[in-house]
Amino acid sequence: MKKRVLSGIQPSGNLHIGNYFGMIKRMIEYQESSDLFLFVANLHSLTTLSDAKELKKLTLDVATDLLALGVDPDRCYFWVQSDVPETTELAWILSCLTPMGLMERAHSYKDKIAKGVQPSLGLFNYPSLMAADILINQADVVPVGKDQKQHLEMARDMAVKFNKVFGETLKVPEHEIPDDIAVIPGTDGQKMSKSYGNTIPIFAEDAVIKKAVMGIVTDSKGIDEPKEPEGNTIYELYKLMADPAETKVMADQFKKGGLGYGDAKKILLEKIQKTFAPYREKHQELKNHPKKVETILAKGAEKVRILSHQTMLMVREATGLKY
């Protein structure tokens, strides 16, 4: 049987190259080898967003972006979290099994509070909902980044506890967190992230992408000076998209001297445009037909609900909720 690989992405803005090379590309590759479960985590977004129009827009936008990038609804499970309300039922049940102490130790909750976010009960309970996303689909593998590692461990703890208290019901997801995922640098050299305003968006207008690429921060070495390619943002981004021969050419030119940062940025920009051109066409087509996206999401929810429903039958039986 194929492994079930599951991940969720919060609808929180336009996808950028860091999202693509850090997560989405891998997810799309999983469609070949595994049963992929991918969803838009709009209920999680409610912990930080309370603007209905904005949430609707962001949800459709991220779904459109993912479909354009190659998520194939016929070969995977692709849906919006809130379209499977059983998930929140399981989240409640899990929260009843989870000691306060465990929840209080959640880094992401503590970090948000440290940043001055007014904590809501929803934010506190974020890990229970995330655990429910995973456990309701009996996922084998959840390839998350380091920031989500603790949440995944909490999901495992909750599954183990459930099985201990109510009998073997939920699959304990594999404790496999790939830590070899490269952190993709943003235009200022630190991790590319919406929150740092240093992103290169995938589906923005050409002029916006150009401005981002040409704005990549470099040192002030002149054209003829030799430069170290490793750790240089232009080179690190180029390497993600260029073939090995092209990568070597850029590395050699940098080392030898003679390649200025301005020209290197132009080469990178061209590579980005070429890499994402086919996706941009598909993106435009979906943008022109938003109903298509809505239909895909509705069908996706229907398909995955069959599985969630099966899990919930077992959970209701095991807990005594089915009387």
Binding site residues, ligand TRP, CB under 6 A: 6-8, 10, 41, 44, 130, 133-134, 142, 144, 148
Q: Minimum CB separation from ligand TRP for residue 314, in Å?
A: 20
Cα separation, 302 vs 314, in Å, equals: 19
Main-chain dihedrals φ then ψ at residue 80, nearest 5 degrees? -105, 130
What is the per-residue burial (b if ≥16 Cβ within 10 Å, else e) of 125-147?
Answer: bbbbbbbbbbbbbbbbbbbbeee
Q: Minimum CB separation from ligand TRP for residue 152, in Å?
A: 7
133 binds, among ligand TRP, ligand ADP, none (CB under 5 to 8 A by kind): ligand TRP
Q: Of 6, 12, 42, 71, which one interacts with ligand ADP (CB under 6 A)?
A: 12
Q: Minimum CB separation from ligand ADP for residue 253, in Å?
A: 26
The residue range among 38-46, 193-201, 241-249, 289-297 that interacts with ligand ADP, by the rule CB under 6 A, is 193-201
Check: CB of residue 192 under 8 Å from CB of residue 17: yes
Check: CB of residue 133 under 8 Å from CB of residue 87: yes
HSE value, Cβ hemisphere, 13 Å, CA-based, for 30: 24
Closer to ligand TRP by Cβ: residue 64 or 148: 148
Residue 174's DSSP bridge partners are 141
| Residue given tokens 């509070």 in the structure block | 113
Q: Minimum CB separation from ligand ADP for residue 143, in Å?
A: 8
HSE value, Cβ hemisphere, 13 Å, CA-based, for 1: 5
Site for ligand ADP contains 192 (CB under 6 A) = yes
Closer to ligand TRP by Cβ: residue 6 or 15: 6
The residue range among 10-18, 43-51, 209-217, 218-226 that interacts with ligand ADP, by the rule CB under 6 A, is 10-18
Class of residue 100 by CB neighbours under 10 A (exposed 0-12, middle 13-18, buried 19+): exposed
> Coil, strand, or helix at residue 135?
helix
Closer to ligand ADP by Cβ: residue 118 or 195: 195
Q: Minimum CB separation from ligand TRP for residue 171, in Å?
A: 14
Contact mark string toward ligand ADP, 141..170, x via CB under 6 A: ----x-------------------------
Q: What is the H or E stretch that residue 132 is in?
A: helix 126-136
308 binds, among ligand TRP, ligand ADP, none (CB under 5 to 8 A by kind): none
Q: How many CB atoms lie within 10 A of CB 306?
A: 9
11 binds, among ligand TRP, ligand ADP, none (CB under 5 to 8 A by kind): none
Cα separation, 158 vs 133, in Å, equals: 12
For residue 10, what are its two tokens? Answer: 């919060």
> Coil, strand, or helix at residue 8?
strand
Closer to ligand ADP by Cβ: residue 191 or 280: 191
The residue range among 4-12, 58-66, 201-209, 277-285 that interacts with ligand ADP, by the rule CB under 6 A, is 4-12
Site for ligand ADP contains 201 (CB under 6 A) = no
Distance between alpha carbon 153 and the CA centroid of its chain, in Å?
Answer: 18
